[in-house]
Amino acid sequence: MTLAMILWGCSGDPSTDTDRTSTDTDTTSPTDTPTGDTGTTPTKVDPCTVPALSVGTGVEHYVPLGEGDPVTVVFGPQGGWHVDVGAEVFGTGQIVSLQSSLTLTAEERTVTTKLPPQTLGLVAEDPCGWSIFGVRAFLDDASFPGSAFDYVCDLDGQTAILELTLVDAANDIELTDQVEVTLTQDPEQKCDAKP
């Protein structure tokens, strides 16, 4: 069962994020307004209303990720593995769906299970943005060559692309963001004890 916890809060201005950029279906910049023959004067658009997505991690709260930051491959209570995913979102409606993936950089191989998108209802408390955390990207251990335990232990130190896609169907918004991370072992995995 996938557990997603969501908080609402304005934690920053998405237009000042210079480390990574997300893509969306709206190609106007945050400060673009009609000019020219329309007779209108350019005005600054509130950055809280511009659709933006920053993928991160987090179990109890959103944690932003920079290029190369560590992300733990968690050994779950039911015996499988996952990576905790979080996000900071601006300019969307209350109902969104999320889909995440993890692709090993060296092998160009996606190692997460392809599940249907998770639909979330976000609670509005502040007009600026959402923080999402506690979403899980499950590893597809059935597809691993050889022993899944050994394969996951060997992921320690490898780089991977963590990608998150958010869809707000009601407002025709699709956002995707990705970051290259360094995978780390879960201490509960006990990789040191492998033969």
CB neighbour class for 157 (10 Å; exposed up to 12, middle 13-18, buried from 19): exposed
Question: Residues 120-168: pLDDT tens digits?
Answer: 877 654 567 888 888 999 999 888 888 888 888 899 999 999 999 999 9
The residue to which tokens 């506690």 are assigned: 134
**In contact, 94 and 125? CB cutoff 8 Å:** no
**Residue 141 in domain:** yes
Q: For residue range 33-80, what is the model confidence (pLDDT) as tens digits?
A: 444 555 666 667 666 778 999 999 999 888 999 999 999 999 888 888
Say if 127 falls within a structural domain: yes
**Inside any domain, residue 6:** no
- Give the per-residue pLDDT at 6: 41
φ and ψ of 151, to 5 deg: -60, -45
pLDDT of residue 115: 85
What is the DSSP track for 19-33?
S---EES--S-TT--
Instruction: Indicate whether 170 belongs to any domain.
Output: yes
User: CA Rg, the chain, in Å?
Assistant: 19
Q: Side-chain half-sphere of 83: how many Cα atoms within 13 Å?
A: 35
Residue at 167 is within a domain? yes
C-alpha 180/C-alpha 75 separation (Å) is: 21
Strands 95-104 and 109-110, by their bridges, are: antiparallel
Tell me how far apart the alpha carbons of residues 126 and 122 are, in angstroms, rounded to a whole number.
Answer: 11
Please name the helix (run of DSSP H) or strand (run of DSSP E) that holds residue 149, with its range, or none.
helix 148-153
Residue 121 lies in a domain: yes
Query: Domain limits at 131?
Result: 48-189
Q: What CATH number should be reported for the domain holding residue 88? A: 2.60.40.10
| Tally of domains in the chain | 1
pLDDT above 90 for 173: yes
- What phi and psi, each to the nearest 5 degrees, are found at residue 169? -65, -35
The pLDDT value recorded for residue 40 is: 62
pLDDT in tens, 68-117: 999 999 988 888 899 999 998 988 888 899 999 999 999 888 999 888 88
**CB–CB of 136/71 below 8 Å?**
no
Dihedral of the CA atoms 11, 131, 77, 69 (nearest 10)? -50
Residue 118 identity: Q
